[in-house]
């Protein structure tokens, strides 16, 4: 796929300043929601910037509709290990009747499905109650720097034109690291050979006969094998995830897999790759719906209730941070001095044609690793003189394998809460986020309900 092109020179322009804030958070996914709420609840003036007209990130925009990583299997007993801002959001979702009871995944851990509209509305309520401001429909496209090298403003394109937003601290929760990339911070992508986890275009089906469908998630893989053996269908990947939502006539379907012509994963940072992926995703959905209706009891009259507004992107750019969470850290349930919370999700690797799982020792271990503050902080040697930026969520500092685990919502809430709290404390202490005393951050996180795994 070509990325080199002729170029044109744009005229210089003057950009109006939208406002000046203590903390600007880019992106309203799990990490951005938690970061904005935590910073605002710690008395910072906060603006959250989001390109869509609603919050939730991949959870809503990509139709994920399921929280992983809120729980861990602790010596055989499944417990919720992510709290703090996540609890505030869950409480509001429960009040909207938008949460399923947690369900068992591969006999080892729980995930918790939810209603997409409940997440959107609960996140609005939580942000507004925290007094964080939101600017929807604003796409971040660039940055300006101060004379001392720090970031001065984030440039956004909106319906009312290009605007600049000034802040003392910026938190990149864009998932793709757009802010850090625009600021010129070096970033990593994929494994040692640049292979990314494969994306999925999610959809939900309605009108499922729940009684007849029963626990169809157990039988669907065998039905797919049969249909493929008979030459009736060809599926893009194994490891289909087809599960009921809050109302049992509605199921979410996580089965597509998107690749470029050369077989590599669709790349969420390359415009043509994304565009082709959307088309291919919808083609696969039409095909899979045909399979569900023809072969799966209870799905005979099912229809595509909703195709997610955008491709579900699992992995793109990652920060190179002071600490780098690795797959070994996850499997060995590692501890860190500068722990800000925990991750209890295993490595879930969406590789070509399949989904591979790698677990810590279950039930022989405590089933979670700590997450270090250093994974949110740009490594000084790579920071390009910028000391007022943090990253949280799937663009934080991890190896490809560490990311395969800590990219899920639970760990993103943890990172977001820590980044927002750290930004607010750094401002109170008149220091950079990098030089913040971690024990102070840890005390405040614990006081505000976070579990650090100790």
Ligand X SMILES: Cc1cc2nc3c(=O)[nH]c(=O)nc-3n(C[C@H](O)[C@H](O)[C@H](O)COP(=O)(O)OP(=O)(O)OC[C@H]3O[C@@H](n4cnc5c(N)ncnc54)[C@H](O)[C@@H]3O)c2cc1C
Binding site for ligand X (CB under 6 A): 26-32, 49-52, 57-59, 61-62, 64, 66-69, 111, 139-140, 173-176, 178, 199-200, 202, 254, 312-314, 393-394, 407-409, 412
Cβ 217 to ligand X, closest distance in Å? 13
Q: Is 38 helix (H, G, I), strand (E, B) or coil?
A: helix
Q: For residues 448 and 416, what is the distance between their CA atoms, to the nearest angstrom?
A: 14
Residue closer to ligand X, measured from CB, 199 or 372: 199
Cβ 138 to ligand X, closest distance in Å? 6
| Peptide linkage before 363 cis (omega within 30 of 0) | yes
Q: For residues 350 and 265, what is the distance between their CA atoms, to the nearest angstrom?
A: 10
Residue closer to ligand X, measured from CB, 370 or 409: 409
Q: Cα dihedral sign for 336, 76, 407, 404?
A: positive
Q: Residue 106 to residues 73, 217, 357, 367, 410: CA-CA distances in angstroms?
A: 12, 11, 10, 15, 18
Residue closer to ligand X, measured from CB, 243 or 434: 243
Residue closer to ligand X, measured from CB, 289 or 440: 289
The Cα angle at residue 438 between residues 426 and 396, in degrees rounded to 5: 80
Cβ 33 to ligand X, closest distance in Å? 7
Residue closer to ligand X, measured from CB, 212 or 356: 356
Cβ atoms 175, 395 nearer than 8 A = yes
Cβ 64 to ligand X, closest distance in Å? 4
Residue closer to ligand X, measured from CB, 29 or 374: 29
Q: What is the dihedral of CA 413, 415, 417, 420, to 10 degrees?
A: -140
Q: Which residues contact 229 (CB under 8 A, 6 or more apart)?
A: none
Cβ 230 to ligand X, closest distance in Å? 28
Residue closer to ligand X, measured from CB, 120 or 434: 120
Cβ 270 to ligand X, closest distance in Å? 14
Secondary structure (H, E, C), 160-179: CEEEEEEEEEEEECCCCCHH
Q: Residue 448 to residues 39, 85, 339, 429, 443: CA-CA distances in angstroms?
A: 12, 8, 15, 19, 9
Cβ 55 to ligand X, closest distance in Å? 7
Cβ 166 to ligand X, closest distance in Å? 17
Q: For residues 398 and 281, what is the distance between their CA atoms, to the nearest angstrom?
A: 28
Residue closer to ligand X, measured from CB, 279 or 431: 279
Residue closer to ligand X, measured from CB, 64 or 331: 64
Cβ atoms 429, 44 nearer than 8 A = no
Cβ 54 to ligand X, closest distance in Å? 8
Cβ atoms 115, 246 nearer than 8 A = yes
Residue closer to ligand X, measured from CB, 102 or 206: 102
Cβ 440 to ligand X, closest distance in Å? 25
Indicate the burial class of 222 (C-beta count within 10 angstroms; 0-12, 13-18, 19 or more).
Answer: exposed
CB hemisphere CA count around 93 (13 angstroms): 25
């Amino acid at each position: 796929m070509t990325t080199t092109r002729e170029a044109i020179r744009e005229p210089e322009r003057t950009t109006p300043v939208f406002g000046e804030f203590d903390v600007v958070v880019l992106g309203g996914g799990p990490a951005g929601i938690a970061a904005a709420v935590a910073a605002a609840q710690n008395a910072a003036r906060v603006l959250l910037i989001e390109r869509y007209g609603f919050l939730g990130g991949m959870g809503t925009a990509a139709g994920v509709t399921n929280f992983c990583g809120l729980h861990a299997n602790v010596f055989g007993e499944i417990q919720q290990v992510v709290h703090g801002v996540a609890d505030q959001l869950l409480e509001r979702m429960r009040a909207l009747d938008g949460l399923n009871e947690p369900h068992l995944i591969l006999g080892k851990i729980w995930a918790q499905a939810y209603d997409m509209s409940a997440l959107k509305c609960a996140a609005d309520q939580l942000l507004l109650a925290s007094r964080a401001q939101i600017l929807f429909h604003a796409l971040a496209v660039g940055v300006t720097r101060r004379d001392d090298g720090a970031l001065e403003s984030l440039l956004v394109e909106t319906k009312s034109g290009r605007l600049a937003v000034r802040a003392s601290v910026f938190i990149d929760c864009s998932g793709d690291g757009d802010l850090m990339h625009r600021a010129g911070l070096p970033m990593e992508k994929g494994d040692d050979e640049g292979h990314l986890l494969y994306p999925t275009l999610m959809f939900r089906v309605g009108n499922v006969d729940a009684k007849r469908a029963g626990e169809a998630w157990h039988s669907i893989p065998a039905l797919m094998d049969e249909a493929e053996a008979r030459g009736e269908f060809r599926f893009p990947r194994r490891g289909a995830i087809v599960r009921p939502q809050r109302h049992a006539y509605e199921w979410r379907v996580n089965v597509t897999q998107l690749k470029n012509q050369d077989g590599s994963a669709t790349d969420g940072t390359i415009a043509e790759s994304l565009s082709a992926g959307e088309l291919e995703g919808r083609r696969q959905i039409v095909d899979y719906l045909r399979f569900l209706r023809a072969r799966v009891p209870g799905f005979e009259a099912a229809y595509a209730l909703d195709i997610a507004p955008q491709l579900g992107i699992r992995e793109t750019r990652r920060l190179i941070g002071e600490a780098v969470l690795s797959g070994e850290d996850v499997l060995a349930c590692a501890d860190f001095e500068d722990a800000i919370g925990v991750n209890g999700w295993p490595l879930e690797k969406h590789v070509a044609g399949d989904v591979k799982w790698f677990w810590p020792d279950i039930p022989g271990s405590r089933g979670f690793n700590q997450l270090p503050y250093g994974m949110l902080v740009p490594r000084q040697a790579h920071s390009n003189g910028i000391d007022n930026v943090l990253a949280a969520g799937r663009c934080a500092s991890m190896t490809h394998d560490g990311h395969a685990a800590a990219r899920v919502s639970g760990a993103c809430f943890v990172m977001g809460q820590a980044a927002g709290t750290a930004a607010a404390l750094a401002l109170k202490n008149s220091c950079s986020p990098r030089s913040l005393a971690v024990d102070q951050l840890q005390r405040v996180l614990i006081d505000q309900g976070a579990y650090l795994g100790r």
